[in-house]
Structure formats: structure tokens, C-alpha cells
């Protein structure tokens, strides 16, 4: 039996849920290390410009499509024209593949929460991480555990599950981030860390840096796979799209910058390279926490923070697929959640094993984990975003008027949507591939 189409119970819940989707590992884990690798402040300013003037367009576009059609991502494109049915499916493939590697990281987070909770800390985190992630059973088990913990919320529905989870977890997340950022600012490396973040070094300003900033912006705003469209389809009739989009962008950016303010003072206090990369969160940060007084307290807060950020994003990924399968195959939300969970479980196991027994199994010279990460972030996201902008701009008559009325913003939006943003995205795709 099919369930009735849900609606957020308030505007605030809608904003918290979209912020919950946007704020994830992309902000706390990826943003600081990408900024570290790309020269700190120059990257930050480029990223801010791109997000405020370019990424706002596909974001408004997805919210607008959600508000206009009030359907899941597959049906939305099918209604626009049956010839665009594949676009909805492409979004579903993308948003089902992302959790297959994202939840592996979720499993690692659960493991680190456990070791900080029980205070059984290894002496050397670099050795610990490589020996733990290369095991067969434990990482797979924790990935599936993280998946099931996430699936509970779409299973329970939009109001009783997703809304409640976000309303509880996001304030806790913000509080923990604030505690850690304030603590980091009391460390001796605070000044150096802040200078690194806010004093631009223009020698890093080049094409690759701009492209990286754009890729990061799309990923962190959850654009290009119908997630924002799906959350937007539950919004109330009188919701203002531009205001909601800017609120989302501002919250997401404040959180990413606060994550930097939390990480760089610690990094500089301990003399770690700010460009240490992906290992920053699972090797350098826990190593540093373990050498501080109250190690288990700060370590636990850090990994709980990562947990809340990743689970609220995970919920939004799963909801996009669950909503689509529920409407498309006319099955209940519960059945649809079980099917989605099974598919993700199946693909995430080889992704988890990529760090151990399958580390030599490579497709296009990449392990399953890296292949999933690379193709979804660097190919599918910009490509899907491009197609969504082109369809909204060129195939829906007066899309901008339907969303913004006759306002000045509508006219500017229309030009950016039809010409400027697609050209930039084509450029990103061509150089990216």
C-alpha cells in the first residue's frame, strides 16, 4: 500500500533537515584537508565566491523543481517529458552509490567512538588505522551497522523519522562543534592556524584550485542527485526558495569554516602538515587528542560530531532513493527502505574490503572505494547538475517566472541558469575527466 505524501511540519524543520543533508563529512573531513592542500585562504575566498554566485543557481533549481512538481526525482523528470526519465534514474544511481563508500567511513567513525568511549587508545594511530581498516570482518560489520542505524529514519517516515532525527542531532552537532572550536582556540597554534585560514597566499591561485573548489561546493551542498529536490518536495506552499537557499548556503559555510577553526589550531599546535589529506581525521586528529589531557573526552566529542554530521547526510541520501522507489513501484515506504538498504549493503562490502583483501582489485587503476568516490563526485555530480540546469532552463517554459515571479532576481537567475552555469559545468567536466 502506498503512503500519503508527507510535508515538513514547520519551515524550521525543513531548513534543519536540508542543513543536516548538506553538513556532512564534506564539511568536517573533506573541506579542511582540501583547503589545507590548496593554500588555505585563497581557496576559502574562491570557494565562497563560487558558492554565493554560481552554486546558488542549481540549488534554487532543485528546490524549485521540488516545490513545483511535489514528486520524487524519477517522476519529476518523467512529468517534464518522458524522454527525460533517464535523468531521474541517473540521479538515483548516483545517490545510491555515494553511501556505498560514505558509510564505510561511517563504520570507521563508529569504531573510533568505541575506542574513545572505552579509553582503549592505541599508541600509534597510523599503524592502528591501517591494520584496522584492512581487516575483513569488523569494518564490514560496522559499515552495515551504520547503514542500519541510518535506514531506521527513512523507514519511520518523514515526520516521525527524518524530521525528529535532524531536530535532535543537528543542535547537538552544533554544540559539540562549538565546544571543540573554542577549545582549539586556546591552544598555542591558534594564531598560526587562523593566519593560515584567513591570510591569502595567491601563489596557489590556479585552474585546478578553482575546479577543486567547485567540486567541493557541489558535493557539500548535496546538489546533483535529487536529494535537495526530494526534501524540497515536502516543503510548505509558501516557502521562499531564494531565502531558503541562502540560509542553507550560509549555515553550511559557517559550519565548514568553524570546522577549519577547530582543526587548524590543533594541527599547527602539534606541527602536523595542514595538507596531510584524508588521514587528518583518522590518524592525525585522534593522535593529537590522545596526547592531550582529557583525551577520551575531546576524542569522543570529535567522533560523535562526525557521526551526527554523517548520519544526517546519510539519511537524506537514502530518503531520495526510498521516496523514488515508494512512488515508482507503488510499494510501502518500509518495503522500499528494505530494498534500498539491501542494495547499499551489497555494494558497500567490496568498498570496505578495498583497504584489505581487495586492495589489489582495481578497475581503471582504482580500488572499488576510490572508484565510487571518484566517479560520483567528479563525474556524476557535475554532469547531473549540468543536465538538471539545462532541462530546467530550456525545457520548462518560464521556469524562472514560476519560481520567482517577475522579480529582478528571476531575470538574473534565468540568464545564469541557461548560459553561465552550464558553460562553467561543461568546463569542469571536460577538465575533470
By the criterion CB under 6 A, which residues form the site for ligand PHE?
A: 21-22, 24-27, 95, 98, 219-220, 222, 225, 227, 313, 316-317
Contact 269, 187 (CB under 8 A): yes
Residue number, 100 or 267, with CB nearest to ligand PHE: 100
CB contact set of 108 (below 8 Å; sequence gap of 6+): 132, 133, 139, 142, 282
CA-CA distance, 195 to 341, in Å (whole number)? 44
CA-CA distance, 317 to 42, in Å (whole number)? 31
Nearest distance in Å: CB 24, ligand PHE: 2
Nearest distance in Å: CB 26, ligand PHE: 2
DSSP 363-381: BTTB-HHHHHHHIIIIIIH
Residue number, 225 or 416, with CB nearest to ligand PHE: 225
Contact 76, 225 (CB under 8 A): no
CA-CA distance, 402 to 181, in Å (whole number)? 42
CA-CA distance, 68 to 239, in Å (whole number)? 11
Nearest distance in Å: CB 368, ligand PHE: 18
Residue number, 104 or 115, with CB nearest to ligand PHE: 104
Contact 159, 6 (CB under 8 A): yes
Residue number, 34 or 121, with CB nearest to ligand PHE: 34
Nearest distance in Å: CB 81, ligand PHE: 25
Nearest distance in Å: CB 325, ligand PHE: 16
Nearest distance in Å: CB 228, ligand PHE: 8
DSSP 64-84: HHHHHH-S-HHHHHHHH-GGG
Residue number, 115 or 180, with CB nearest to ligand PHE: 180
Contact 310, 105 (CB under 8 A): yes
Buried b (16+ CB within 10 A) or exposed e, 13-25: bbbbbbbbbbbbb
Q: Which of 116, 8, 9, 30 is nearest to 310 (CA)?
A: 30
Residue number, 217 or 421, with CB nearest to ligand PHE: 217
Nearest distance in Å: CB 254, ligand PHE: 14
Nearest distance in Å: CB 137, ligand PHE: 27
User: Helices 207-220 and 381-394 sit at what angle, rounded to 10 degrees?
Assistant: 80
Residue number, 24 or 161, with CB nearest to ligand PHE: 24
Residue number, 28 or 144, with CB nearest to ligand PHE: 28
Nearest distance in Å: CB 306, ligand PHE: 10
Half-sphere exposure of 387 (CA within 13 A, CB side): 18
Residue number, 38 or 313, with CB nearest to ligand PHE: 313
CA-CA distance, 143 to 40, in Å (whole number)? 32
Half-sphere exposure of 242 (CA within 13 A, CB side): 12
Q: Is 233 exposed, middle or buried (0-12, 13-18, 19+ CB in 10 A)?
A: buried
Nearest distance in Å: CB 317, ligand PHE: 4
Residue number, 284 or 313, with CB nearest to ligand PHE: 313
Tell me the residue ranges of DSSP E strands in 53-210.
Answer: none
Amino acid at each position: 500500500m502506498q503512503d500519503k505524501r508527507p510535508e515538513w511540519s514547520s519551515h524550521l524543520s525543513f531548513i534543519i533537515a536540508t542543513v543536516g543533508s548538506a553538513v556532512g563529512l564534506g564539511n568536517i573531513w573533506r573541506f579542511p584537508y582540501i583547503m589545507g592542500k590548496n593554500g588555505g585562504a585563497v581557496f576559502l575566498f574562491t570557494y565562497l565566491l563560487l558558492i554565493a554566485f554560481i552554486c546558488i543557481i542549481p540549488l534554487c533549481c532543485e528546490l524549485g523543481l521540488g516545490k513545483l512538481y511535489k514528486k520524487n526525482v524519477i517522476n519529476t523528470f518523467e512529468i517534464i517529458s518522458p524522454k527525460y526519465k533517464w535523468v531521474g534514474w541517473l540521479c538515483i544511481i548516483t545517490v545510491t552509490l555515494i553511501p556505498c563508500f560514505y558509510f564505510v567511513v561511517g563504520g570507521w567513525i563508529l569504531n573510533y567512538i568505541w575506542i574513545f568511549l572505552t579509553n582503549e587508545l592505541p599508541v600509534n594511530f597510523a599503524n592502528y588505522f591501517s591494520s584496522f581498516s584492512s581487516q575483513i570482518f569488523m569494518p564490514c560489520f560496522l559499515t552495515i551497522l551504520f547503514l542500519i542505524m541510518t535506514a531506521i529514519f527513512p523507514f519511520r517516515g518523514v515526520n516521525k523519522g527524518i524530521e525528529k532525527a535532524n531536530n535532535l542531532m543537528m543542535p547537538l552537532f552544533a554544540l559539540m562543534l562549538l565546544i571543540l572550536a573554542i577549545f582549539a582556540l586556546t591552544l598555542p597554534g591558534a594564531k598560526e592556524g587562523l593566519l593560515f585560514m584567513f591570510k591569502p597566499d595567491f601563489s596557489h591561485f590556479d585552474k585546478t584550485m578553482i575546479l577543486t573548489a567547485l567540486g567541493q561546493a557541489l558535493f557539500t551542498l548535496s546538489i546533483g542527485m535529487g536529494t535537495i529536490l526530494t526534501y524540497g518536495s515536502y516543503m510548505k506552499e509558501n516557502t521562499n526558495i531564494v531565502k531558503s537557499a541562502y540560509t542553507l548556503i550560509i549555515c553550511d559555510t559557517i559550519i565548514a569554516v568553524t570546522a577549519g577553526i577547530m582543526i587548524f589550531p590543533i594541527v599547527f599546535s602539534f606541527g602536523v602538515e595542514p595538507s596531510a589529506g584524508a588521514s587528518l581525521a583518522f590518524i592525525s586528529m585522534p593522535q593529537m587528542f590522545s596526547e592531550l589531557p582529557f583525551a577520551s573526552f575531546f576524542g569522543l566529542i570529535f567522533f560523535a560530531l562526525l557521526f551526527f554530521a554523517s548520519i544526517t547526510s546519510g539519511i537524506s541520501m537514502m530518503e531520495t532513493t526510498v521516496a523514488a522507489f515508494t512512488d515508482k513501484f507503488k510499494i510501502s515506504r518500509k518495503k522500499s527502505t528494505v530494498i534500498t538498504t539491501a542494495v547499499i549493503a551489497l555494494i558497500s562490502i567490496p568498498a570496505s574490503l578495498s583497504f584489505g583483501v581487495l586492495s589489489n582489485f582495481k578497475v581503471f587503476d582504482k580500488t572499488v572505494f576510490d572508484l565510487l568516490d571518484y566517479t560520483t563526485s567528479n563525474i556524476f555530480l557535475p554532469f547531473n547538475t549540468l543536465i538538471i540546469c539545462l532541462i530546467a532552463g530550456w525545457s520548462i517554459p518560464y521556469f524562472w517566472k514560476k519560481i520567482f515571479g517577475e522579480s529582478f532576481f528571476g531575470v538574473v537567475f534565468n540568464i545564469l541558469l541557461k548560459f553561465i552555469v552550464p558553460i562553467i559545468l561543461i568546463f569542469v567536466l571536460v577538465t575533470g575527466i
